[in-house]
Amino acid sequence: MQYWLFKTEPHEFSLQMLHDSPNQSARWDGIRNYQARNYLKNHVAPGDEVFIYHSSTTPCAIVGTARITTAAYPDPAQFNPQSPYFDAKATPSQPRWYAVDICWQSTFKTPIPLAWIKQQPPLHAMALLKQSRLSIVPVTKEEWVWILGGGIG
DNA sequence: GCCAACGTTGGC
DNA sequence: GCCAACGTTGGC
């Protein structure tokens, strides 16, 4: 059981859209960064829990949680020439990019802003802060518990 | 809209 | 294999 943080731009795909999807589930696709891809392919597993983080918005914040429901599988968009995520160098026998399915789990009454996270000494080592451009980052159990507790640990 | 960080591409 | 140029992300 591991914990993760997935970033999304809410006008592209928000936590609310996940909640409103059939079975409150959706494919988390379009990951086109090798480090994020490697996390998906090698480490993300069904049952893992995920903070959903809204980026490029005001305020940037963790808005709730989701649960991983599948192992990583090849992202179909890489094979679709019509898709913005098309990758001409990917083939079904040698896929480059992966996706997972996730299920909505909770929406926080009060989102947890990035500014608050930055103020918490126990969160100073968070991968979110260290690699601010990565769209999938691991979260430790201690960080997960601290954030869910609103800073009470 | 700006800019820092950093990943990717391509010439050599 | 190096590195400059370029593109993208994402906070502010």
Q: Among positive and negative, which fits the CA dihedral A106, A48, A61, A143?
A: positive
pTM: 0.94
Amino acid making up residue A78: Q
Asked whether residue A35's C-beta has any atom of DNA/RNA strand C within 7 A, the reply is no
Q: In the structure, what pLDDT confidence band is assigned to residue A89 with cuts at 50, 70 and 90?
A: confident
Average the pLDDT over A119-131 and give the result: 94
Q: In terms of DSSP H, where are the helices of A1-153? A: 15-19, 34-42, 114-119, 127-130, 141-148
- What percent of chain A stands above pLDDT 90? 85
Q: What is the DSSP letter of A84?
A: T
Distance of CA A68 to the CA centre of its chain: 10
Shortest CA to C1' contact from A132: nucleotide: C10
> Cβ of A129 < 7 Å from strand C?
no
Report the first-to-last Cα separation within chain A, whole angstroms: 19
Q: Residue A22 carries which DSSP code?
A: G
Nucleic strand B under 7 Å from the C-beta of A129? no
Q: What is the pLDDT of residue A152?
A: 67
Distance A58 CA to C11 C1' (A): 10
Under 8 Å between Cβ of A143 and A128: no
